[in-house]
Amino acid sequence: MPSRGSSVDSAANPPEKSREERLHRRLPRQTLRSYGMLLALVVLWAIFAFATGGIFITTRNFSNLIRQTAVTGVLAVGMVMVIIAGEIDLSVGSLVGLSGMAAVMVQTVWHWGILPSVLTGVFVGLAVGLVQGWLTAWARVPSFIVTLGGLLAWRGAAQGISSGSTFPIRVESFRAIGQGYLSATAGIVLAAIGVAALIWSVLFRNRARRRHGLAPWSGTGLTLRIIGPSVLTVAFVAALNAYAGVPIPVLILVVIALAGAFVTQNTRFGRHLYAIGGNSEAAKLSGINLRSQVLIAFCILGALSGVAGIIYTARVGSAGPDAGTLLELDAIAACVIGGASLMGGRGTVFGACLGALFMASLDNGMSLKDIPDFIQNIVKGGILVAAVGLDMLGRRRS
């Protein structure tokens, strides 16, 4: 078959000059969205500050608010991974109750110390995550069903172990996990370490850009990248120090959120989650082992539910049969308000944490105004639906 062809290469256009510049600029939408989220939070705070005559923005209340965010925040970090992969976990509230109960029971029955009892709580969460992840990924039971079953079963287990009664914490140091504060000095030292690590990573990335033949950041770009987050870190610690220091649960949340952000943005596993949730068929044909990645996501969420259970128990001072009820809904709402899609493929740890802060702010502000519980619930439900509705509206327009 004769094929007289014209070589297409000769028609190749010379690469445009501006292309090099545009090549590395991200689409602004994602960024805009997180600014919108921050703006909504600032507006909410302004409203509460006004409505409570300034009580809402006292350092004492700020410390409280941040501490209240810790449990939902830790859950949201794990939940957002499962949601990105296109799955859901409804059992985390019950799991918070069960793991907290387990941690207190080993203190009560076997007189275990702080470390073994913490490990017990985390291990219970991890084991449950493993079972639920296996049922979802291997036995192909939809995660909604698996974890709906879990919601009932783990709550039942917690009630069974405790025979319906509440057990106080036996190890006094355990309380510090939920109620303690870092000393002002420790807070300052950590802030300094944080800022140093930030400067190092920005400079390191800038060097790497040069090594890979990409244009390094300009002087102002470099400064902004360092100054912005540094100021925020220092201000955050200063505000908390002005009351009693950085609460320990907040420190735990910050560490977990940073680790979660790294895992979702900078690891293969994280990339796989987005691919699986975005298009599982394409992910499979790209050589990704769907089952193992989904299983890992459930294990991470399980372990984090254990951590959240310990913080929760330590804050309350005892483990009750109904501890953590409905927390799963707060965690899911936090992810969704933070931009995650229940269809999978979208969501960030940063957004989920902001969402958790938003939910905690609603709780905190409305409680300060003595708004009855039932109204609080109605408002929270309405805001959740409105947030997603607005997002969908904006998406359709663009």
Partner 1 sequence: MARHGSIDIRHAAVVGAMNPTSSAGVSLLSMRDICKEFPGVRALDGVTLDLREGEIHALVGENGAGKSTLMKILGGVYPQHQFEGEIRVSDEVKRFKGVRDSEKTGIAVVFQELSLVPELTVGENIFLGREPGSLGVINWNALYARAATLLRELNLDIDPRTKVSGLGMGQQQLVEIAKALSQDARILVLDEPTAALTDTEAEVLFGVLADLRKRGIGIVYVSHRLAEVFRLSDRVTVLRDGKSIVTAATDSLNQQQVIARMVGREISQMFPVVRRAPAEVVLEVKHLSAVDDAVRGRPSLTDVSFSARRGEVLGIAGLMGAGRTELLLSLFGAFPGKVTGEILVGGKPARIASPADAIDLGIGFVTEDRKRSGLVLNQSILFNMTLAALPRLSDWFATDELREIAASRPLFDSLQIKAASLFTAAGTLSGGTQQKVVLAKWLLNKPRVLLLDEPTHGIDIGARQEVYSTIAKLAESGVAVVMVSSELPEVLGLSDRILVLHEGRVSGRFTRDDGTPEAIMACATGTDRHA
- Residue 74 beta carbon to partner 1: minimum distance, rounded to whole angstroms: 22
CB-side neighbour CA atoms (13 Å) of 42? 6
Q: In 3D, which of 233, 175, 179, 184 has the Cα closest to residue 67?
A: 179
Sign of CA dihedral 338, 342, 346, 348: positive
Question: By the 8 A CB rule, do 340 and 323 touch?
Answer: no
Piece in contact with partner 1 (CB under 8 A), picked from 43-51, 131-139, 237-245, 267-275? 267-275
CA 220/CA 11 separation, integer angstroms = 40
- Closest approach, Cβ 239 to partner 1, in A, equals 33
Closer to partner 1 by Cβ: residue 157 or 296 = 296
1 binds partner 1 (CB under 8 A): yes
Least distance in angstroms from the C-beta of 275 to partner 1 = 5
Shortest separation between residue 148's beta carbon and partner 1, angstroms: 22
- Dihedral (Cα; 109, 115, 118, 122), 10-degree rounding: -120
Exactly one of 17, 53, 220, 285 binds partner 1 (CB under 8 A); that residue is: 285
Tokens of 197: 């690590």
In the bound state with partner 1, the residue whose beta carbon lies nearer, of 208 and 224, is: 208
Tell me: does residue 140 bind partner 1 (CB under 8 A). Answer: no
Q: Which helix (H) or strand (E) holds 253?
A: helix 248-266
Instruction: Kindly write out the interface string for residues 13-52 of this chain, putting x where it contacts partner 1 by CB under 8 A and - elsewhere.
Output: x-x------xxxxxx-------------------------
Using CB under 8 A, count the residues that bind partner 1: 45
Per-residue binding letters, 313-352, with partner 1 (x by CB under 8 A)? --------------------------------xx------
- Exactly one of 185, 266, 367, 377 binds partner 1 (CB under 8 A); that residue is 266
Nearer to partner 1, 43 or 282 (CB): 282
Q: Measure the CA–CA gap between 340 and 180, rounded to whole angstroms.
A: 32
How far, in whole angstroms, is CA 242 from its chain's centroid?
Answer: 26
Nearer residue to partner 1 within complex by CB, 284 or 369: 284
Q: Is 284 in the site for partner 1 (CB under 8 A)?
A: yes
Task: Give the one residue of 52, 269, 363, 383 binding partner 1; rule: CB under 8 A.
Answer: 269
Q: Least Å distance between CB 207 and partner 1? A: 10
- x-or-dash string of contact with partner 1, 351-380, rule CB under 8 A: ------------------------------
CA quadruple 52, 54, 57, 58: dihedral positive or negative?
Answer: negative
Distances (CA, A) of 79 to 74, 187, 192, 301: 9, 28, 30, 6
Q: Give 264 or 361: the residue with its C-beta nearer to partner 1.
A: 264
Query: Which CA distances in Å does 376 have to 69, 262, 390?
Result: 17, 34, 21
The DSSP result for 339-361, as a single string, is T--TTSS---HHHHHHHHHHHHH
What gap in Å lies between CA 313 and CA 300, rounded to an integer? 20
Least distance to partner 1, CB of residue 80, Å: 16
Number of residues written out for the chain: 398
Report if residue 217 touches partner 1, rule: CB under 8 A: no
Q: Which is nearer to partner 1, 158 or 340 (CB)?
A: 340
Structural contact between residues 84 and 58, judged by C-beta atoms closer than 8 angstroms = no
Paired with 318 in beta bridges are 168
- The smaller minimum CB distance to partner 1, of residues 164 and 221, is found at 221
Closest CA to 383 of 359, 367, 366: 359
Q: Which is nearer to partner 1, 214 or 326 (CB)?
A: 214
* Residues paired with 181 in a beta bridge: 247
Binders of partner 1 among residues 173 to 212 (CB under 8 A) are 205, 208-209, 211-212
Nearer to partner 1, 82 or 246 (CB): 82
Which residues contact partner 1 by CB under 8 A?
1, 3-9, 12-13, 15, 22-27, 205, 208-209, 211-214, 266-271, 274-275, 278-279, 281-289, 345-346
